[in-house]
Chains A and B, each alone.
Chain A
Amino acid sequence: MSMAPDLRARLAADYQPVRALRSPWARALGVLPLGLIALVAAPLAFDVRPDASRLGWFGVWGFSLLQSAIGFLVVAAALRESIPGRGWSRGAIALWLSMPLAIIVGITMFSWQFSPVMLRREFWVVGGMCFAGSAAMALPVVALTSILAARAYPTRPAIAGALLGLGAGLMADAGWRIFCHFSEPAHVLSAHLAAVIMSTVIGTLATISVAGVTSETPAE
């Protein structure tokens, strides 16, 4: 079965040597500086949470570093998903999506256990600020990773986008929790978790859009 002459001619017309993409893990390293900025921006701008002494270094920075590292892993998983033939199985996708949410719940419960701080007044105003701040911090990471994902050839852009949005949301919220001392689960699981979910939704939509645009551009 030989190639049709017209197909061959069309391929030859825009053929150029290309450099193969680096591994997803190596490409995810490009997101690391933005992830680190997201981690330290809120505590640097607004100070570290006042109950830091009660939680200790591990309870404040250690858990945030862990959450940020898991966010980084989810971003790398998203970049792997965006390569044809390297997509995750259904079970693995379910694990990648549920594990970070379980981590957030676990960290919330730990903080509540050792430093219970209720949000007594203006629940929705403070919640709205935490939601907006955390979601906004995730946007640069979402933008960069959705471009990285679309530069590959995501055959399931919605899944790749959801994973990278989730990863970015985790990285951003890891920094926000170093500043926000309201450990009440109702606040964290509404405002902070909602920001992570919002980032997941934005990642999904952004990747679908960017992948659609790049698939219409001529081959390299």
Chain B
Amino acid sequence: MEDQRLRELMREYQAGRFEAFDEIHAAIAPALRRYLLSQARDAARADDLVQETFLQMHRARHTYDSSFPLMPWSMAIARHVWLMDCRTRSRRPWAPDDVMDLELPVRAEAASLAERSEVRRALRQVSPDRRDAVIQHHLLGFSFKEIAERAGIAETAAKLRSSRGMAQLRALLKGSSK
């Protein structure tokens, strides 16, 4: 999509046409993903970072000046998201793999739904960010606000990671029970 059209769409998004963001997403998400993948070298992490970038673009939409191209603005936000993610990871009190070694508390009624070893195996296949959010929220009982603070991300991003992680976990468990 040409630059002028992107500027126009962003102007419309600022002015109140929410649907314009769908078109912006469709146009620039592949480029942002390519950039973030080149940095992260992990497809799942790059996908999460793309989502976080769009969340931040939404938050910072008032800072966009349509007399300038959209891509440098969105790339600067993507780079910031990437750097914040790196900083958060370096400060994280534990690595996701450590969580897998914990003796996880499972309620008695939940234990009957799936074998613990199956859950553990399925969890290992969920991407680290999502797995972290699922374990912290559903097993350790942290609120999304607390998870967001620990990870240095927005609360909505923590919810997103957890819900996606649960969806992935459900799909994996369904697949393994067949």
Chain A interface residues (CB < 8 Å from chain B): 1-4, 6-8, 10-12, 15-21, 23, 83-87, 152-153, 155, 215, 219-220
Contacts and interface: CB of A to CB of B under 8 A. Distances in A.
Contacts of A86: 68, 73
B80 A21 contact: no
Interface of B: 11, 14-16, 18, 21-22, 25-26, 29-30, 33, 51, 54-56, 58-66, 68, 72-77, 79-80, 156, 159-160, 163-164
Contact of A84 (B14, B16, B73): B73
Nearest to B56: A153
B134 to A, nearest CB: 15
Contact of B58 (A6, A87, A219): A219
Contacts of B62: 18-21, 220
Contact of A1 (B25, B61, B65): B25
B14 A11 contact: no
A3 B22 contact: yes
A1 B77 CA distance: 19
Contacts of A19: 14, 62
Contacts of B22: 2-3, 8
Contacts of B64: 20
A85 B75 contact: yes
Contacts of A219: 58-59
A10 B80 contact: no
A20 B30 contact: no
A103 B178 CA distance: 76
Contact of B164 (A6, A17, A155): A6
Contacts of A11: 18, 21, 54-55, 58
A81 to B, nearest CB: 11
Contacts of A87: 76
